[in-house]
Amino acid sequence: MSHGHFLVLALYVVCISANCDAIINNMDDCDPVVCTPPCENGGVCVLDANIPQCACLEGFTGLQCESDTFALKMVFNGTNKVKYPARLPTLDSGFTLCLWMASSSDSPFYLAEVLFSYSGADSVPSASGEEAAGFFLNAQSVYYIKTHGFTSQYSLHTYGYLPRNGDWHHVCLSWNPSQNGAIWIYVDGNEQFVGDSNKHVILGGDVYLGYVPGDVLFSTGSILQYDGAITRLNLWDTAMSSGDINNLRCGRNEGNLVKWSAFFGEETNLQNVRIEDEEDVCSEGAP
């Protein structure tokens, strides 16, 4: 190509919009991309394969970004499970897990019901003893998985277990490897030291709600699926302070490891879980 031709072509721009697909001299001649109905909740109309579509802000979904995932809850009945769409990496800098839960389960086995689990059947800790193969939280205990199939339990009985009075409660769990693997539980802003796990690394694995996979534990007779509701569950790769955790209660902050909005994508595996609108957990008189 000659230098003359290059100079001529350099004067042109390619404009692609809903009403313009041509090489023209001036971008102002192109009409903006328009979505009908218009995007909601701060969504932006963009072209996807020359079709106008809404690009939603984090936390919103739907064709017009009309659905606020922070206003959705998952309802479990003890026979269902949810698998997060992405596998988590190895954790060595701590974590904080936060969620809102409401349960009025009358099961005599309520204390064994699992809210959250994170593990991998292929995660094999080294012989150093500083690694764990995962962890999970149920209504009475925090467990870390020492090796494939075996766990070590930290009871929450000194706190009074997680409540099941039918009200919404904000529950957070933190693990700090720089403090001998210290584990803390927070319920409605009240903190309780659970124990030192002596673990400094948690290997990568899969996230489940309301469930622990049978191939992770050799004996699951005392581990039951959750009966209740969960909303706004997020996981961060740092051990937060109690002040930071209290600031999260009614905010829209999503985790950088697990995001509540990502549970509502097409790749999430939902089995027998109902998705419903939730009451605003921060305006209905939650503790």
The model's pLDDT over 49-80, given as tens digits with 9 standing for 90+, comes to: 888 899 888 778 888 888 888 888 999 988 88
Question: Measured in whole angstroms, how far is the alpha carbon of residue 96 from the centre of its chain?
Answer: 11
Angstrom distance (rounded) from CA 175 to CA 194? 10
Round to whole Å and give the CA distance between 226 and 204.
23
At residue 126, the pLDDT reads 66
Q: Are strands 131-132 and 150-155 parallel, antiparallel or unpaired?
A: unpaired
- Is residue 230 scored above 90 in pLDDT? yes
Can you give the C-alpha Rg of the chain in angstroms?
A: 24
Mean pLDDT for 93-106 is: 89
- Calculate the average pLDDT of the chain: 77
Q: What is the pLDDT of residues 164-213, one digit of tens each?
A: 888 999 999 999 999 988 889 999 988 888 888 888 888 888 899 988 87
Percent of the chain with pLDDT over 90: 24
CB 160 within 8 A of CB 93: no
pLDDT of residue 128 exceeding 50, the answer is yes
